[in-house]
């Protein structure tokens, strides 16, 4: 069962997000084979305030390590990070279950 990683930035952290973004994207690119989906969570103005990544693993420790080692997380951008099992029911405009 895949795992969803839901992370919320600390308030007023846009400068830190911008500084860490190149390393974050390199990290994700190196691990894209593990990801089903990923992207930024946005506020009403379209500014990134967190992220959502779905990691294709059955091992909760692998998902937790994926989240912990992300430069956004190790760089102290996030106020909170949740790693939880995810069951796909719909994908790409189709019901899968």
Place domain 3-95 in its CATH homologous superfamily: Dimeric alpha+beta barrel (3.30.70.1060)
Question: What is the residue extent of each domain of the chain?
Answer: 3-95
pLDDT, one tens digit per residue, over 6-30 is 999 999 999 999 999 999 999 999 9
pLDDT of residue 23: 98
pLDDT of residue 64: 98
pLDDT over 90 (residue 97): no
Residue 94: φ, ψ to 5°: -135, 145
When pLDDT is cut at 50, 70 and 90, the band that residue 1 belongs to is confident
pLDDT over 90 (residue 82): yes
pLDDT, one tens digit per residue, over 31-76 is 999 999 999 999 999 999 999 999 999 999 999 999 999 999 999 9
Gap between the Cα atoms of 89 and 91, Å rounded: 7
Gap between the Cα atoms of 25 and 21, Å rounded: 6
pLDDT over 90 (residue 87): yes
For the chain, give percent helix, strand, coil, nearest 5: 35, 35, 30
């Amino acid at each position: 069962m895949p795992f969803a990683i839901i992370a919320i930035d600390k308030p007023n952290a846009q400068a830190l997000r911008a500084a860490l973004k190149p390393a974050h994207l390199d990290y994700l690119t190196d691990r894209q084979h593990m990801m089903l989906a990923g992207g930024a969570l946005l506020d009403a103005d379209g500014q990134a305030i967190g992220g959502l990544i779905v990691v294709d693993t059955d091992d909760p420790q692998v998902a937790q390590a994926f989240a912990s080692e992300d430069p956004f997380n190790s760089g102290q951008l996030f106020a909170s990070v949740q790693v939880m099992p995810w069951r796909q029911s719909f994908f790409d405009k189709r019901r899968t279950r």
